[in-house]
A = this chain, B = another copy of it.
Amino acid sequence: MPTDHPESTYAVLGLIDKVPDSSGHELAAMADRSLAHFWPISRTLLYRELGRVVALGWAESERVEQTRVPSKSIYRTTSDGRRALADWLTRPVGKHSNFRSDLLLRLFFAHQMEAGQIERMLIDYKHALEVQRAEFDALVHKLSSLSSSQARFGRLSALHGLRTAEARLNWVEEAQQELGGDS
């Protein structure tokens, strides 16, 4: 019964349900500002999933004619769709993490590299993490002020990213100390 569909289908379905009567364009903008941090959805993928949820009868679309800007289709979840969503939410989470890290992969083979190159790589990683940390930090603070239940969960997601980034920055320190003390 809980037929198997990719997680992205539910991501899009959830979005439609959360912000009904939005167009694909608007949903994409929403996703970029929120979901993107832990479940990136490219434009193409979004439109494909929109087609899918409609085909599944989980959402219905309505055409809205516009004159100044191009006409658009807007989406709403059906009762079937809301049921599918609720069902998915309670289904046990499959695999925690499909983690793949370009950095760790290289580090694993780093005995081949010169110390300076490894250091370089770590610094790049550190910079990327600092950007992440700043973004998540800003998000957490922004969402702390709002107090809707929606914002609460958004804040928790951001906090997850923040804590992860912090821990990894600490790891970079550790790694640098360990690798710096020789050669």
Question: Which A residues contact B (CB, under 8 angstroms)?
Answer: 7, 10-11, 14, 17-18, 34-35, 37-40, 85-86, 88-90, 92-113, 117, 121, 124-125, 128-129, 132, 149-150, 152-154, 156-157, 159-160, 163-164, 166-168, 170-171, 174-175, 178-179
Contacts and interface: CB of A to CB of B under 8 A. Distances in A.
Given A150-B111, A152-B178, A171-B163, A38 B96 contact: no
A106 B7 CA distance: 10
A118 to B, nearest CB: 9
Contact of A93 (B121, B129, B171): B121
Given A7-B100, A93-B121, A96-B125, 6 more contacts: A10-B105, A89-B112, A89-B117, A104-B157, A159-B171, A167-B167
A92 B125 CA distance: 10
Contact of A40 (B34, B100, B107, B108): B100
- Sorted from nearest, which 9 A-B pairs have the closest CB atoms? A167-B167, A38-B104, A14-B109, A96-B128, A163-B167, A163-B171, A38-B101, A93-B102, A39-B105
A102 to B, nearest CB: 5
A93 B103 contact: yes
A148 to B, nearest CB: 9
15 contacts: A34-B108, A39-B101, A39-B108, A40-B98, A89-B109, A89-B117, A93-B124, A96-B101, A104-B157, A104-B160, A111-B150, A156-B175, A159-B174, A160-B171, A167-B167
Contacts of A38: 99-101, 104-105, 108
A94 B102 CA distance: 8
